[in-house]
Chains A and B, each alone.
Chain A
Amino acid sequence: MTLTDAARRRDRWSVAGTGVGWGIATAVPVLFLAVFFVWPVVALVVKGFAPDGALDLSPFVDVLTKPRTWRLVGLTLAQAVAGTAVSLLVGVPTAYVLYRLRFRGRGVVRAWVTVPFVLPTVVVGVAFRAVLGEGGPLGFLGLDQSFVAIVAALAFFNVAVVVRTVGGMWERLDPRAEQAARTLGAGPLRVLRTVTLPRLVPALTSAASVVFLFCATAFGVVLVLGGRRFGTIETEIYRQTVQLLDLPTAAVLSVLQLVVIVVALAVAARARRHRENALELAAAEQAAHRVARGDLPVVGLVAAFVLLLHVLPIATLVVRSLRVPGGGWGPGNYTALGTRGQRDALTATVWEAGAASLRTALMATLIALVVGGLVSLVLSRSPRARAARRARGLLDGVVMLPLGVSAVTVGFGFLLTMDHPFGLPTDLRTTGLLIPVAQAVVAVPLVVRTLLPVLRAIDPRLRQAAAVLGASPGRVLGTVDWPIAARAAGLAIGFAFAASLGEFGATSFLVRPGSTTLPVVIYQLLGRPGAQNYGMAMAASVVLAVVTASVMLVAERLRGYGTREF
């Protein structure tokens, strides 16, 4: 009898232990997001509506009656719409060529088109200025610091999102529906219009809404390319905070930006639901075919796009980084990275900033991986208990918000809340500790979006099969979830690291003389006079681009099953 009693006690402990484990796995990310995301955003809204503690709508009225505000809102929406349209126009044919055609070198082109998504925004801004600015290959167009330049740079990033989302679905569409249409007498264009595109609509709307979100919250690119004439709500928040120190106005603008984003997020969520439903219908079939004569016009068009939009800016950036001040060519700009720039433009050498960047990004990746990993794990299970289900629903909603709420908002919110949080004796904002945390907040949704689809795709009965074979919950995690999700975890690490390394929006609010990062240094170099500083900005951009692209290419090799949006 004592034996059975012991066994019973063990069973009870095992059940209780599992419950406690899930409780902790839920509590850690919820606490993290509550402190470092919800609180700053709430503080920001409060600052906008009640700057001095009491409800006071005068800053609101002030800001909303300024014509400048409405011009910025208009510009934000216009560049988001234009950026989305161009990304779709370029992205859809590219998706066809890269996912429905088979040709040698396809893998390289896919990587070349998709890696830009993780390139630091500042680097892309610098590259487009190198192309369109004075002395650039397209400088004669006079497009430097123009609306067109901003839209082109936004497309540079977001074509990757369209290609991945639409291509991933296109690849899996059963070609027999199209073949059936052909046998019924429809020509290729008619098939495209009546069969293929309607089936792609969920992927197209999903891609469009995500791209719109990214374009509407673009910051680094606009700051570098927009100059004085062009700005968005984001850059205005930055200007009001950092240059004019007008926090109430910045807070009101942030609230305005939140409204734009929440609407875009809601549309995106709707589109995604449709997409998931439709994906179940699609057969996972290798439907790619060799390049036929009829494909040549599309292939030519896509080649031209890729050359103009992706190859030219990067090539120009590399070439310009090798042109030394005073004329001639050489590695002078790179050797200058060991200095503080012309007339001591910087507070540290570029290499020092680079090392600090790596350290920060490493910390941010670790945080993002723990928080994002736990979130994905919790969200991938469907608990039976009502309370657990409610907690899961809450987490589901909260965790995707940082993806939409701009990095600028996160950075600004940190400035408002993290002076002496929880009665801590030090002003956290001066320590530099907040930078990795802010970068992690920005990276968590990337981690979740990479891991969660893979974990959700695991049939729950597979875990049940393991449990029936005697595996404890911990063992199920180790032998069923982990082997399947490990490759996706590698990809998530790459994403988080690349995103943290290039993060500019939140970081730019939090850097202090002692703790700066490479993207911020590049931006500072651009703003200082002197040919040497400009050359150094080019060289530093190349270095940063090479590091992020390499990280991403390695991670891409680890790419797991399942579809992702980016």
Chain B
Amino acid sequence: MNVHQTGGVARLGTDGLTVTDAVVTYPPERRGVLGTTAVAGVSVHVPPGQVLALLGPSGCGKSSLLRAVAGLEPLVAGTVAWDGSDLAGVPVHRRGFGLMFQDGQLFAHRSVAGNVEYGLQVQHLGREERAARVAQLLELVGLEGYGARSVATLSGGERQRVALARSLAPQPRLLLLDEPLSALDLNYQCHVMDLLTQETRDHGLTTLIVLHDLNIALQRSDEALLIRAGELAGHGRPDEVITAESLAQVYEVSARVETCSRGLAHILIDGLCAPAS
């Protein structure tokens, strides 16, 4: 039984992303080995212009859910729909969703600018228009003047920001981000989250973001989704989902939620839960 059965699921309306009973399995790698079920019947609705944080321990199926929404993993059961229309049979490149991979997956044979403008070339944008948009995006992620550089010369954090700029460039209607903050220092973690909040507000971008930092999820997301072993363990307002009880259940850590000086909720981890007697 789910611990928190709150608001989001019951919300009516079909605008935005609707995932219904999604199941993703991976076939066995060789004979005699069982396949694995990564996502076991997850349903979620994300209205346009919202930031949904995906939380859960490593290997719980967060990335698989993102990949299924992008169309990179076939659904064994369930549906993914946008604005009420089922996306089954719509190939990846026609979905208008952006996905930023965990490790960036930059094109090593293209320059920084060449990476960022890739999606714009697909849209047949003119050369000047592209250059302007690339410059604007690079500035947005704090990499102005990096356009001509080879991606091999970048640091981990710089690569991640190029990947972000690249996935923002074609102005996707839905942005899927797989741990976009993992290689960033504190300054850029704030910077990138500000940027996403701003894009969401200005362009009505809908965002699904896999996060490991619970405090960022608490403070910056509209809704949070807690996943454990491929199943929904909580969905709703972040402060309702991220609680001492749910963390004890999903992560097996004992934690306290406090309110910091600016009035924001803040999580403190004490340590592993005591083993059940």
| Interface residues of A, Cβ cutoff 8 Å to B | 4, 7-8, 10-12, 14-15, 18, 384, 459, 461-462, 464-473, 475-476, 479-480, 483-484
Q: Is the CB of A459 within 8 A of B122?
A: no
A12 to B110, CA, bound (A): 31
Q: Is the CB of B109 within 8 A of A483?
A: yes
Interface residue? B119 (CB, 8 A): yes
- Report which residue of B74, B107, B110, B167 has the largest number of chain A beta carbons within 10 angstroms of its beta carbon: B107
A10 to B121, CA, bound (A): 20
> Per a CB cutoff under 8 Å, which of B108, B109, B123 touches A470?
B123
> Per a CB cutoff under 8 Å, which of B72, B74, B90, B119 touches A469?
B119
Q: Is the CB of B101 within 8 A of A461?
A: yes
Select from chain B the residue with minimum beta-carbon distance to A486: B109
Q: Is the CB of A468 within 8 A of B97?
A: yes
Q: A464-B72, A469-B170 are in contact. Are A11 and B99 (CB under 8 A)?
A: no
- Report which residue of A8, A14, A464 has the largest number of chain B beta carbons within 10 angstroms of its beta carbon: A464
A96 to B108, CA, bound (A): 30
Sampled A-B contacts (20; CB under 8 Å): A4-B85, A7-B94, A10-B94, A459-B105, A464-B70, A464-B105, A465-B107, A468-B72, A468-B92, A468-B97, A469-B93, A469-B118, A469-B122, A470-B94, A470-B119, A472-B93, A473-B91, A479-B121, A483-B107, A483-B110
> Per a CB cutoff under 8 Å, which of B105, B118, B123, B167 touches A479?
B118
Q: A14-B94, A459-B105 are in contact. Are A471 and B89 (CB under 8 A)?
A: no
Chain A residues with Cβ below 8 Å from B92 are 464, 467-468
Q: A464-B99, A470-B119 are in contact. Are A384 and B105 (CB under 8 A)?
A: no
A473 to B122, CA, bound (A): 12
> Per a CB cutoff under 8 Å, which of A468, A473, A475 touches B99?
A468
19 extra interchain contacts, Cβ-Cβ under 8 A, other than A468-B93, A470-B122, A479-B121? A4-B85, A8-B89, A384-B27, A384-B74, A464-B72, A464-B99, A465-B166, A468-B97, A468-B167, A469-B98, A469-B122, A470-B93, A470-B94, A470-B96, A470-B123, A471-B93, A475-B93, A476-B93, A484-B108
B120 CB to closest chain A CB (Å) equals 9
Chain A residues with Cβ below 8 Å from B110 are 483
* 7 closest cross-chain pairs (CB), A and B: A469-B119, A467-B92, A470-B122, A468-B99, A465-B105, A483-B109, A467-B93
Q: Is the CB of B91 within 8 A of A18?
A: yes
B169 CB to closest chain A CB (Å) equals 8
Q: Is the CB of B170 within 8 A of A470?
A: yes
Chain A residues with Cβ below 8 Å from B93 are 467-473, 475-476
A468 to B93, CA, bound (A): 5
Interface size on B, residues (CB 8 A): 30
Q: Is the CB of B166 within 8 A of A469?
A: yes
Chain A residues with Cβ below 8 Å from B107 are 462, 465-466, 479-480, 483
A11 to B87, CA, bound (A): 10
A362 to B97, CA, bound (A): 45
Select from chain A the residue with minimum beta-carbon distance to B27: A384
A464 to B99, CA, bound (A): 9
Chain B residues with Cβ below 8 Å from A467 are 72, 91-93
Select from chain B the residue with minimum beta-carbon distance to A464: B72
A376 to B106, CA, bound (A): 23
A444 CB to closest chain B CB (Å) equals 26
Q: Is the CB of A11 within 8 A of B118?
A: no
Chain A residues with Cβ below 8 Å from B98 are 468-469
A517 CB to closest chain B CB (Å) equals 38
A480 to B123, CA, bound (A): 17
Chain B residues with Cβ below 8 Å from A462 are 105, 107
A381 CB to closest chain B CB (Å) equals 14
- Report which residue of A384, A459, A466, A469 has the largest number of chain B beta carbons within 10 angstroms of its beta carbon: A469
A459 to B108, CA, bound (A): 11
> Per a CB cutoff under 8 Å, which of B94, B96, B105, B119 touches A461?
B105
Q: Is the CB of A465 within 8 A of B27?
A: no
B103 CB to closest chain A CB (Å) equals 8
